[in-house]
Amino acid sequence: MKRFAFAALLVPIVAWSQTETRELVGQIGSRPALLVLHASRTAEGAWQMAGEYIVLPTLQRRFLEGESSPEIGVTTLREGTTAILFGRSPTGELRGTWRGGVFKGARYAPGGQERERFEFSEQFPEMDAYSAAVHCDASEAQYKSTLSYRIEAGKLQSFDWHSGLAPGGHRCSIANLQQQPLKGGLRFSAGRCNVTLRELGDYVRVAAENCTEQCGSQAYLEPLLIDKRGHCRLLRGEAR
C-alpha cells in the first residue's frame, strides 16, 4: 500500500538530529506544485534534504535528495522516480538558492540542459475568508476515506473525518476538533492530533498529523485534495 507519508525517504536520515519537515507551494515551469522536504542540519552547518514534489493537478510525483549550503543557501536536489535514489540514474536535478523561505532556480535534464525555471515559497495563502461545506468520499484499492466539514469565514463549524482499511476493518475517526491559530492556512486539533488545511491554487489540501490515537493499529489518514466543487481525491502522487 503506497502512502503519501515519507517512510521510505526517512531511512537515510533517521540518524540525523533536529530533522524538520518543510512544505512549500509554487511552480515548476507553468505547472503548480507542492514541495515537501525533510531537512536536517549536518555538523558542518549544511542542510541534508530528502522529499518529493507533486505536480498539481496531474499528481505526477518526483522524489528528491540533496543538500543546501549553510550560509548562501545554494541548494542542489537530485530527482528520481523512486524514493531511493542511490545507485539509480536521476531523471533531473533542481539547482537554485534557498533564502528567506523561498527556493528558486532551474530544473535540469540529466545531461545538464536547462528544462524549466521553478520557484517555491514556504508562505501559503491566508485562509481567513475561506468558507465551504464539504462532504466527499475518496477510495483506492482497500482504502476508503469520508470527509465532512463546514467552515465559515475561516472559522470551523463542524468536522468529521473517517477512514477504513479492508479487509481487517481498521478505522480512523476524527471529530470534535478545536481551532488553533495558523499563519497561511487553518489548523484544528484534538490533543496531539492536528488537521491542517492549506490552499494550493485550485485545491485545498487536508492533512492529518500525530493522529495515531484516533486510528486502529493498521489504519491511517491519507491527505486529501478538495476542489472548488467540493469533490475530493487522495493526494497520492504517481511516479510516472
Short-list 231, 232, 223, 226, CA closest to 2: 223
Q: Are 36 and 50 in contact (CB under 8 A)?
A: no
Cell 545554494 identifies what position? 74
DSSP 1-62: ---SS-HHHHGGGTT-SS-EEEEEEEEETTEEEEEEEEEEE-TTS-EEEEEEEEETTTTEEE
Residue 210 grid cell: 500525530
Provide the pairing of β-strand 60-68 with 170-175. unpaired
Helices marked H in the chain: 7-10
Q: How confident is the prediction along the chain (240 residues), in pLDDT tens digits per residue?
A: 444 433 333 334 334 456 888 999 999 999 999 999 999 988 888 889 999 999 997 889 999 999 999 878 899 999 998 887 777 888 999 999 999 999 999 999 998 999 999 999 999 999 999 999 999 999 998 999 999 999 999 999 999 999 998 888 899 999 999 999 999 999 999 999 999 999 998 999 999 999 999 998 888 999 999 998 999 999 875 554
Domains along the sequence of the chain with CATH? 7-121 (2.40.128), 132-234 (no CATH)
How many residues comprise the chain? 240
Does the pTM exceed 0.85? no
pLDDT digits (tens, 9 = 90+) for 20-59: 889 999 999 999 999 999 999 888 888 899 999 999 978 8
Cell 543546501 identifies what position? 68
